Structure 1
Amino acid sequence: MKIVKYIFVFLFISLLVGCSEDTIDSFGVGKITGTVVSQGDNEPIQNVKISTNPVTSTVFTDENGDFVIENVPAAEYSIQAKKDGLLTKFEGATVLSNAEINVIFEMLPDTGNNREPTTPQAIFPEDNSTDQDVTIDFSWSSSDPDGDELVYELQLRNNVNNDILKYSSIVDTTYTVEGLQFGYKYFWQIKVTDSINEPVLSPVYSFQTAQYPKSRYLYVKKVAGNNVIYSSDNEGNEYQLTSSNLNSFRPVKNNASNKIAFLRTVGGQTHLFTMDPDGANQIQVTSNIPVNGFNLDKISFSWAQDGATLVYPNYSKLYSINATGGGTALVYQTPSGKFITNVAVSKDNSIIALLTNNANGYDASIYTIDFSGAQLTTIIDNVTGALGGLDISVDKKTLLYTRDISAYESDDYRQLNSHIFLYTFVTGASLDISTSKENGTNDFEPRFSPNEALVIFTNTSNDGLSARNIFTTEIGGEDSERTLIFENSMMPDWE
């Protein structure tokens, strides 16, 4: 019996010892690590409170957004990331014995109490204002009660067509719009967003642009590296016709069609365009065969057939094209392969004056042809130095051109003493009308005034760097008066 008793006691003690070893540690522990960042830019967030359910230790993220919870019993957990001003985030995790699990939290701002921006209010132009310029510096007011960064969108529409202009991603309360149309009524509205709340719209405001003035002068100015076309009336009021973001130059108006033709750089090529006198309805005319030659800054074209067609050069060939586009036809090709640089068609369409030169701009000639390509009159031929210009008087009796009388020739086509000459067809004589020109300057780009009593032209220093200015001078004898009319301007036309 004693032996049985001892065996029973031994088994009882063994059972107790076995039970005492079956603690929580027998299930094992693991580790939870992680990082908290802001959603979108992945910037670390410091001092985020990290806790678990079931409850273990509570920790906070460091300056790198990292956290570690040690000795976590193996089990299923819901992990919470919490910080004032941010939306609380939860992530599930399974902790295994002697293992590490990593959790990433991406947190967003808590916008529950965020307020929307104030409704934008117009400052300029004022609602229902009239006689506004076609370039407007729009301005408005708006703010955000929580100091959030605001982004605006300006929308414009008019009372003539269904065009809607939208200017987005504006971060200031001002925005400049160019190229509005004369005589239009415009409606404008501002949309503002803080990227948290729904966008807020301003009321719809309106304004009226001024009626287009009767401008007779056209010319070009350099703006931010581009050529930009302007017009001006007799009082000196100036109006921008083409965008300063585009390279547009050499404007020539045709009164019969009431259109302005001009050149514009498009995708590395130079093409003919037309537009209304107020700059509206800008249409590309040429397409497959662009305008080209030895120097695009020197090239000119001409209206023909009362504004129905345009005539322009492409190296050694002369083409005509309908002013509305299409109908391209070869008119003439130089027999010597010289480039055509300047073109002028007479008012009655009977003659075409051409200026041709070699690939360097020299060995130049001026002569006339008819539309069949037959050569009529040689005006000047095989001279040393540069020629330029070309404009035929309405009665076909005279022709304007320029010649560098210094006879200087260089690789960069620099001219030292360019004068304007008036050629008379009956006599074959050329009259120098630049006798009162200042020494060290060049006269370029002459054109007759509407009554042909004056010539309008560009004058500039022969250094090739100074500003260009537009003058007029009388057609007459020596020491004719020269009048400065536009500064920092070139390529004039006067209709």
Structure 2
Amino acid sequence: MNQLLKYTTFVLLIFLFSCSEEKLGDDGKGSIKGKVVKEDTFEPLENVRISSSPNSSIVFTDAEGNFQINDIPAGDYSFEARKDGYIAKFEAVTVITDTEVEIVYELKVSTAGNMPPSIPVLTSPADNATNQNLTVDLTWTVTDADEEDELTSTVILRNDVTDEVVTFEDLTATTLTLTDLTFSTKYIWQVVVSDGINDPVYSPIRSFRTKNFPDARFLFSKKIESNSVIYTADDAGNQLQLTSSAKNSFRPVKNLQSGKIAFIQSDGSQNHIYTMNYDGSGLFKVTNTVPIAAFNFDYAKFAWKTNGSQIIYPNFNKLYIINADGSGLTQIYQTPNGKFITECDWSYDGSVIALKVNDSNGYNVELYTINPFGAVLNNVISGINGAINGIHLSANNQRIVFCRDITGFENANYRQLDSRIYMHNFVTGLTTEVPVEKPSGFNDLDVRFSPNEADLIFISTSNDGISQRMIKKFTVGLLNSRVNLFNDAVMVDWK
């Protein structure tokens, strides 16, 4: 019995000794090293406090964002990286005996207490400034209570004529130089400032206008995508867009005494007459209840009274007069045979109105003049086949020019094969062709007198019906004077 007791005691001591040896092995130590950087930019962060739970040592990162803690008892820990202005971050770490563990912290800037930038103040140019050069310096001011915030600005610039928007982003300065601006154009601008933390801050919207386009005497329409757009141009060929590319606007006619341009613009399923200033501003809708209407709007024309007070225009078989302010709409003529009035012109002295009427296909043309009360004065042409277009009275009412397809060709697409320029003399009653050196296979269309009537201006295009249209000028009686003025342009007006 005693021997059994001694043996049992011996075994128990061995067991306890072995357990004690295993427990001492758990008291080993390891180390941890790491790096702290700024989120997104990965910029090293200095003086970040590194601590743990359970407690070990407390250290701070160096200039490179690095830290190291040695002699940490093995076990599971939660290490914290903390720095003012940043959101503290925790990492779970298991420290292993005689092993170095590596961790990386990416700290996010704390938005708590961070104030957004001030509302930007646009300082130059002044709001609604006019006559600005085509190079403009935009300047603004902005402040931020948090000095460490890095501010960036975005400038949004919109062309009020074309509606084109240009954005200048990631600007660190508070100035921006704009170049190659357009004459006679209103620009609208706004500045948006961000500190990268708070929501962006928007300035008020401001505008300025560039200086006027110099000595622009020509007007015409050009196609931009699916719409016609009105342009003005000078003798040197410089061009300025006046109407928005988002609107279908055509047939511009300038009136010198009123300082306005009248034109046709599509309005839903109808077409109406509008006016605007020479620079495209001051848009006003003249017609409302009775639109302008004709068989083909490529050839439809209206006319100003010389003093700018009234406009005459066709609506199928009726001719209307309306005041330029939209009042006083009155029918002054109706064709006796139901033919459509496509074109009209009003003489300089206001005593004569020229009309071109045709059937619903544009043919069976009659060209004649009436007085403002609707009485017929003179018959110019009738009873011939083919297309006629482009009527324009001379200043003294003694002549009228027009274009006629001498082939008499008629078709559903209104294609013309050999359209030439003619002049009718009301004194002699004679109608004669004006030779303008037209090349074979081309049409001359939509003719007008120049302001001094020494030249004719008109549209030239191949008779294939698909080629580009060009605005030409010819000095009457002068050989080799047929010159090209503008390409891809129609419906010219020269004042």
Scaled by the length of structure 2, what TM-score is found? 0.65
The residue that corresponds to 1:391 in the other structure is 392
Equivalent-residue separation in structure 2 for 1:451 and 1:382 (angstroms): 32
The residue that corresponds to 2:80 in the other structure is none
The 3 A distance-change label for structure 1 pair 467 and 190 is same
The 3 A distance-change label for structure 1 pair 139 and 354 is farther
CA shift, 1:201, in A, is: 4.1
CA shift, 1:133, in A, is: 4.7
Secondary structure of the residue that 2:307 maps to in structure 1?
helix
Alignment of 1:79-118 (within 5 A): 112-113=110-111
Secondary structure of the residue that 2:342 maps to in structure 1?
strand
Task: Kindly indicate whether residue 245 of structure 2 is the aligned counterpart of residue 237 of structure 1.
Answer: no
Deviations 1:247-301 (A, max 9, x none): 1111111112121111111112111011111111111100110010111111000
Alignment of 1:372-411 (within 5 A): 372-411=373-412
Equivalent-residue separation in structure 1 for 2:276 and 2:484 (angstroms): 27
The residue that corresponds to 2:416 in the other structure is 415
Equivalent-residue separation in structure 2 for 1:179 and 1:345 (angstroms): 38
Alignment of 1:90-489 (within 5 A): 112-113=110-111, 131-133=132-134, 154=156, 182=184, 188-192=189-193, 197-201=198-202, 209-304=210-305, 306-476=307-477, 481-489=481-489
CA shift, 1:129, in A, is: 11
Equivalent-residue separation in structure 2 for 1:201 and 1:381 (angstroms): 66
The residue that corresponds to 2:491 in the other structure is 491
Amino acid aligned to 2:271? T
Equivalent-residue separation in structure 1 for 2:261 and 2:235 (angstroms): 18
Equivalent-residue separation in structure 2 for 1:179 and 1:246 (angstroms): 22
The 3 A distance-change label for structure 1 pair 133 and 312 is farther
The residue that corresponds to 1:63 in the other structure is none
Equivalent-residue separation in structure 2 for 1:398 and 1:265 (angstroms): 33
The 3 A distance-change label for structure 1 pair 365 and 181 is same
Secondary structure of the residue that 1:307 maps to in structure 2?
coil
In the comparison of the two structures, how many residue pairs are matched?
Answer: 376
The 8 Å contact of residues 402 and 421 in structure 1, kept in 2 or not, is answered as yes
Amino acid aligned to 1:487? N
Amino acid aligned to 1:323? A
Amino acid aligned to 2:216? S
Alignment of 1:49-60 (within 5 A): none
The 8 Å contact of residues 120 and 190 in structure 1, kept in 2 or not, is answered as no
Deviations 1:4-42 (A, max 9, x none): xxxxxxxxxxxxxxxxxxxxxxxxxxxxxxxxxxxxxxx
Equivalent-residue separation in structure 2 for 1:467 and 1:173 (angstroms): 43
CA shift, 1:225, in A, is: 1.9
CA shift, 1:410, in A, is: 0.2
CA shift, 1:171, in A, is: 9.9
Deviations 1:352-374 (A, max 9, x none): 10000000000011000111111
The 8 Å contact of residues 265 and 272 in structure 2, kept in 1 or not, is answered as yes
Equivalent-residue separation in structure 2 for 1:462 and 1:116 (angstroms): 69
Amino acid aligned to 2:407? S
Deviations 1:27-73 (A, max 9, x none): xxxxxxxxxxxxxxxxxxxxxxxxxxxxxxxxxxxxxxxxxxxxxxx
Query: Structure 1: which 5+ runs fail to align?
Result: 1-85, 87-109, 141-149, 158-162
Amino acid aligned to 1:449? S
The 8 Å contact of residues 440 and 461 in structure 1, kept in 2 or not, is answered as yes
CA shift, 1:229, in A, is: 0.9
CA shift, 1:118, in A, is: 9.2
Equivalent-residue separation in structure 2 for 1:173 and 1:485 (angstroms): 43
Q: Percent identity?
A: 40
Equivalent-residue separation in structure 2 for 1:435 and 1:137 (angstroms): 49
CA shift, 1:431, in A, is: 2.2
The 3 A distance-change label for structure 1 pair 254 and 431 is same
CA shift, 1:212, in A, is: 3.5
The 8 Å contact of residues 271 and 286 in structure 1, kept in 2 or not, is answered as yes
Equivalent-residue separation in structure 1 for 2:436 and 2:369 (angstroms): 26
Equivalent-residue separation in structure 1 for 2:230 and 2:137 (angstroms): 20
Deviations 1:129-176 (A, max 9, x none): 974459x99999xxxxxxxxx99684789xxxxx9x9999979779x9
Equivalent-residue separation in structure 1 for 2:390 and 2:137 (angstroms): 39
Largest Rg, 1 or 2:
2
The 8 Å contact of residues 179 and 243 in structure 1, kept in 2 or not, is answered as no
Equivalent-residue separation in structure 2 for 1:357 and 1:201 (angstroms): 58
Equivalent-residue separation in structure 2 for 1:456 and 1:359 (angstroms): 28
Deviations 1:320-367 (A, max 9, x none): 011111210001000000000010011111111000000000001100
Query: Structure 2: which 5+ runs fail to align?
Result: 1-86, 88-107, 141-151, 172-177
CA RMSD across the alignment: 4.5
The 3 A distance-change label for structure 1 pair 446 and 119 is farther
CA shift, 1:488, in A, is: 1.3
